[in-house]
């Protein structure tokens, strides 16, 4: 099986029956944007899952990259995220449609609330989350979003959303790598039928120098990055590494031709030390 075939076959089923590719490509504002790298990922590496956000300021650039790839829209899984500045019912609906226009698409496969906190004065975070989520529920019913979810939400945020609204999120996307393994969150998501998705699988490069990761990489004849990404997807986590370098993207995609043994999975699981390399939402009410 080729890398491209392996990527296309590996998916995770959402509660509504859709299948999200288990490996994607992130386009965070951290490290910039590369048009050539995105086109290369789509045309040469078999990438079909692109993750972006309103906050990353690259929606128009992605529009151009996706068009240049020549791939039909139906072959792609596109995730976008709503920034808290546009939380609230009307603002959220308007922002989603504007993001669709910028990216040149009629719908998103997955649309997420980016952060549990609000930038709306005079209202509690909980009230604004509920109001915003109701907008996403409508966008889902209208077909503008094929699935909806949240990002960086803790368990209490999810519990409140379930109490206040009609739909449970299809996805919760949070920081996930060997140093940051939110076990209770993963268990909660599994119980509720929420797919757990992880960003920063390489901890922004911090895991690449870890002795345990290096030892396991040598054992399999793989790179430290490939070991960490393989560990993540082997745990059933939808994983979205980000790179703007073609050789790194190719390397990150070559994770389907081998399997980590249980002892090695366990050794990587013991690396958790609770550190965050991204935002930490623990203090958001």
pLDDT digits (tens, 9 = 90+) for 141-158: 999 999 999 999 999 999
Domain assignments of the chain as residue spans, ordered by start: 3-200
Size of the chain, expressed as the number of residues it contains:
285
214 annotated as ligand-binding: no
Q: Enumerate the active-site residues.
A: 56
Q: Are strands 77-82 and 11-13 parallel, antiparallel or unpaired?
A: unpaired
Confirm or reject CATH 3.20.20.100 for domain 3-200, answering yes or no. Answer: yes
Q: What is the pLDDT of residues 197-219, one digit of tens each?
A: 999 999 999 999 999 999 999 99
Burial class for 264, CB neighbours closer than 10 Å (0-12, 13-18, 19+): buried
Angle among Cα 277, 15, 91 to the nearest 5 degrees reads 65
* Residues 6+ positions from 16 with CB-CB distance below 8 Å: 147, 170
Residues 12-37: what's their mean pLDDT? 95
The pLDDT value given to residue 5: 55
């Amino acid at each position: 099986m080729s890398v491209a075939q392996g990527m296309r076959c590996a998916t995770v089923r959402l509660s509504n029956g859709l299948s999200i590719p288990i490996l994607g490509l992130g386009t965070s504002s951290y490290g910039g944007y590369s048009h050539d790298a995105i086109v290369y990922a789509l045309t040469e590496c078999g990438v079909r899952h692109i993750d972006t956000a309103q906050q990353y300021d690259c929606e128009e650039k992605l529009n151009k990259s996706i068009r240049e790839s020549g791939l039909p829209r139906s072959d792609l899984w596109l995730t976008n995220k709503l920034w808290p500045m546009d939380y609230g019912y009307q603002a959220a609906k308007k922002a989603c449609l504007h993001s669709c226009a910028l990216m040149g698409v009629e719908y998103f496969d997955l649309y997420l609330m980016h952060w549990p906190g609000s930038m709306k004065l005079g209202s509690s975070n909980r009230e604004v989350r509920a109001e915003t989520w109701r907008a996403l529920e409508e966008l889902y019913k209208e077909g503008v979003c094929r699935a909806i979810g949240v990002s960086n939400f803790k368990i209490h945020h999810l519990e409140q959303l379930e109490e206040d609204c009609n739909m449970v999120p299809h996805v919760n996307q949070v920081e996930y790598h060997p140093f940051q393994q939110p076990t209770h969150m993963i268990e909660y998501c599994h119980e509720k039928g929420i797919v757990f998705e992880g960003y920063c699988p390489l901890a922004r490069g911090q895991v690449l120098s870890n002795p345990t990761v290096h030892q396991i990489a040598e054992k399999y004849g793989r790179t430290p990055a490939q070991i960490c990404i393989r560990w993540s997807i082997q745990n059933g986590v939808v994983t979205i590494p980000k790179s703007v370098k073609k050789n790194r993207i190719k390397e990150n995609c070559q994770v389907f031709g081998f399997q980590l043994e249980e002892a090695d999975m366990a050794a990587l699981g013991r690396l958790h030390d609770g550190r965050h390399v991204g935002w930490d939402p623990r203090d958001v009410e």
